[in-house]
């Protein structure tokens, strides 16, 4: 697959075409998401074939498949739980990068305990009226739609009164406010709903069955975060990002110029390895570099386990949680080791520093990694309960109507 893909790239790559056209070409060749089913622009590819395709795009240093939560979570949810009509409407736009989606789950009073979500959805004919607030929403400003879990029945226990929708964000009644982070970025957002509307045709699965779809979404998120975005240069999907009609050559040049911060967590191990080669490491530092390498190898084998389980129709929730913990554990070691290797320079910022300040930027970005995709504590609970068979944490309200649960 590697040679075949490199030959295809050589024939089709044109720096003057738009990103929209490039992603359309990739999709027509079924090279954007090779693990997807053939009926949805994929190849049913094996893990080894996918790895070969991704490596071909990376080695060619061209733009890879669309990235974002739409393809990470929205597409597998649509393929697995969506109606045929929903699949026909949403899958082409996700596969070609025309739409970017965000995840509208967490709330000020419902973070790790997501089932306590209180954002309301009330039926009004063929539509639902949405009122409430979401927070820590990644990429909301660049998204066309959002995966929304909302409370539809306050007389049901908290896990049973939720419903899952795909909501259009480009409408009155939705206000998005960026949250400024200490690394200078504003990746997260608050989202406020005031009589916003979503069609019942955009409801995924049954009314009050949203918790099952929510947990499935989180499983896709954890495994996807751990696997990384894939081969080639990463570019965000969606018309809101404003990149679809720019030339791929321009976007590649821009990416290379800003590559010192490819994303909040990307390229950390390779960066540390290059810095380590210029230093005399202590035994402790060498041990931690080896630990990082071992962590990556374990993550690779865990990814293969997940792939095999998914192909055989088995539940991957606990394995996905293990994968996510491998990811965050490696990032924590990288965070501490990076500034230690830099010494006094680790306290400075700027592109005139080693690795153009990537290590310091990563240090300021790292705290959110242990929270994004479900906190580390939640992952440990999932592994304990689903993999090890340990008893669940005591809950005083599993059968209590949501309206009767005391809240601040």
9: tokens are: 């790239």
Strands 145-151 and 101-104: parallel
Give the model confidence (pLDDT) of 295-313 as tens digits.
878 877 877 777 676 666 6
Give the model confidence (pLDDT) of 12-46 as tens digits.
999 999 999 999 999 999 999 998 999 999 998 88
Whether 221 is catalytic is yes
Closest CA to 320 of 392, 220, 388: 220
Q: What is the pLDDT of residue 229?
A: 47
Over range 204-208, report the average pLDDT: 96
Domain range list for the chain: 2-78+221-241, 98-210, 260-387
Q: What is the pLDDT of residue 316?
A: 66
User: Is-contact 367 264, C-beta < 8 A?
Assistant: no
Query: From CA 231, how far away is CA 57, in angstroms rounded?
Result: 5
Residue 115, SS3? helix
Give the model confidence (pLDDT) of 306-356 as tens digits.
767 666 666 666 777 888 888 888 888 888 888 888 888 888 877 777 777
Looking at beta carbons, which pairs linking 39-48 to residues 24 or more positions away fall under 8 Å? 40/75, 40/79, 40/87, 40/91, 40/95, 41/91, 41/92, 41/95, 45/1, 47/303, 47/304, 47/307
The one catalytic residue among 39, 99, 107, 221: 221
| pLDDT reading at 222 higher than 50 | yes
17 forms beta bridges with none
Q: Tell me what percent of the residues of the chain surpass a pLDDT of 70.
A: 91
CATH code: domain 260-387 is 1.20.140.10
User: Is-contact 147 175, C-beta < 8 A?
Assistant: no
Closest CA to 66 of 248, 217, 267: 248
CATH code: domain 98-210 is 2.40.110.10
User: Is-contact 247 23, C-beta < 8 A?
Assistant: no
């Amino acid at each position: 697959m590697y040679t075949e893909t490199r030959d295809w790239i050589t024939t089709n790559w044109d720096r003057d075409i738009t990103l929209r056209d490039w992603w359309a070409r990739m999709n027509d060749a079924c090279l954007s998401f090779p693990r997807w089913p053939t009926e949805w622009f994929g190849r049913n590819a094996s893990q080894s074939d996918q790895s070969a395709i991704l490596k071909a795009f990376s080695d060619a240093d061209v733009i890879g498949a669309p990235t974002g939560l739409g393809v990470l979570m929205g597409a597998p949810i649509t393929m697995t739980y969506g109606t045929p009509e929903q699949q026909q409407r949403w899958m082409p736009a996700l596969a070609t990068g025309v739409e970017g989606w965000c995840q509208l789950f967490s709330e000020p009073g419902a973070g790790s305990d997501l089932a306590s979500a209180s954002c309301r959805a009330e039926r009004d004919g063929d539509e639902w009226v949405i009122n409430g607030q979401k927070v820590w929403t990644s990429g909301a400003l660049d998204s066309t739609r959002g995966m929304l879990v909302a409370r539809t029945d306050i007389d049901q226990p908290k896990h049973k009164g939720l419903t899952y929708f795909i909501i259009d964000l480009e409408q009155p009644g939705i206000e998005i406010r960026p949250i400024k982070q200490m690394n200078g970025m504003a990746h997260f957002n608050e989202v406020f709903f005031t009589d916003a509307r979503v069609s019942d045709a955009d409801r995924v699965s049954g009314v009050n069955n949203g918790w099952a779809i929510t947990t499935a979404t989180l499983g896709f998120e954890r495994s996807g975060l751990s696997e990384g975005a894939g081969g080639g240069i990463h570019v965000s999907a969606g018309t809101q990002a404003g990149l679809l009609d720019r030339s791929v050559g321009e976007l590649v040049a821009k990416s290379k110029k800003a590559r010192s911060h490819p994303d909040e967590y990307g390229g950390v191990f390779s960066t540390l390895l290059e810095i380590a080669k210029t230093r005399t490491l202590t035994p402790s530092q060498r041990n931690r570099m080896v630990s990082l390498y071992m962590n990556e190898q374990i993550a690779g084998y865990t990814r293969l386990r997940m792939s095999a389980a998914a192909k055989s129709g088995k539940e991957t929730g606990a394995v996905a949680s293990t994968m996510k913990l491998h990811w965050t554990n490696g990032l924590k070691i990288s965070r501490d080791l990076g500034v230690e290797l830099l010494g006094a320079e680790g306290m400075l910022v700027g592109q005139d520093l080693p690795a153009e300040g990537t290590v310091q930027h990563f240090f300021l970005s790292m705290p959110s990694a242990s929270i994004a995709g479900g906190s580390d504590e939640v992952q440990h609970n999932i592994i304990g309960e689903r993999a090890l068979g340990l008893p669940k944490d005591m809950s005083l309200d599993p059968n209590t109507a949501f309206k009767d649960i005391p809240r601040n």
